[in-house]
Amino acid sequence: MDNSGASHGLIQWHGTTIIGVKKNGRTVIAGDGQVSMGNTVMKPNARKVRRIGEGGNVIAGFAGATADAFTLFERLERKLEQHRGQLMRAAVELAKDWRTDKYLRNLEALMIVADKETLLVLTGNGDVLEPEGGITAIGSGGNYALSAARALDDYEEDAEKIARRAMAVAAEVCVFTNDRVTVETIDS
């Protein structure tokens, strides 16, 4: 998701890397801390990955506009409450709203969400995607992290080690990604 251009005449907040890895009964979402505006690092230690839902049993990470992501976190938490913590059902309902609601349609963000059974990518196009092979990534450094994680997957059994190393690779390659990583895990 490239927000580096001048959309609607405004400079957009740009760049991040978020990765989700599900392997051997453990699910990990990791994200970097860099917030950039144009070519300037505005904040190096933002927290883009967090626990949500009752008891923190869902982890979520976002790429895109921060205010938009917080709105989506809040909406997802409400959907989780409405659907008794069922992540897949809550994600589908959020994706429907995101695509059809006049206000939500304009939000510029992507999300990776997970609980102990499910790992999903949510988009504003109404997509609820379950990644093949249990690895997914979003953001400006997402493709770098995804490639690194897939390369490591055959050789590393620990989901957190895969996520951390993939984030390190993305931070080395993507100028909009740094090495201040937040990691959240859920064991099944």
Please tell me the total count of domains within the chain: 1
CATH no. for residue 106? Answer: 3.60.20.10
Q: Is 11 a residue whose pLDDT tops 50?
A: no
Q: Which residues are catalytic?
A: 16
Can you give the residue range of the structural domain that contains 63? 6-182
Q: Is residue 188 part of a domain?
A: no
Q: In whole numbers, what is the pLDDT of the chain averaged over residues?
A: 88
DSSP codes joined into one string, the chain: ----SEETTEEPEE--EEEEEEETTEEEEEE---EEETTEEEES----EEEESGGG-EEEEEEE-HHHHHHHHHHHHHHHHHTTT-HHHHHHHHHHHHHH-TTGGG--EEEEEE-SS-EEEE-TTS-EE--GGGEEEEETTHHHHHHHHHHHHTT---HHHHHHHHHHHHHHH-TT--S--EEEEEE-
Is the residue at 64 inside a domain?
A: yes
Residue 149 lies in a domain: yes
Please state which of the ranges 39-48, 134-143, 171-180 shows the lowest mean pLDDT: 39-48
Question: pLDDT tens, 74-119?
Answer: 989 999 999 999 999 999 999 888 888 777 777 778 899 999 999 9
Q: Is the predicted pLDDT of residue 166 greater than 50, yes or no?
A: yes
1 part of a folded domain? no
Considering the domain boundaries, does residue 154 fall inside one?
yes
Task: Give the global pTM.
Answer: 0.89
Structural domain contains residue 109: yes
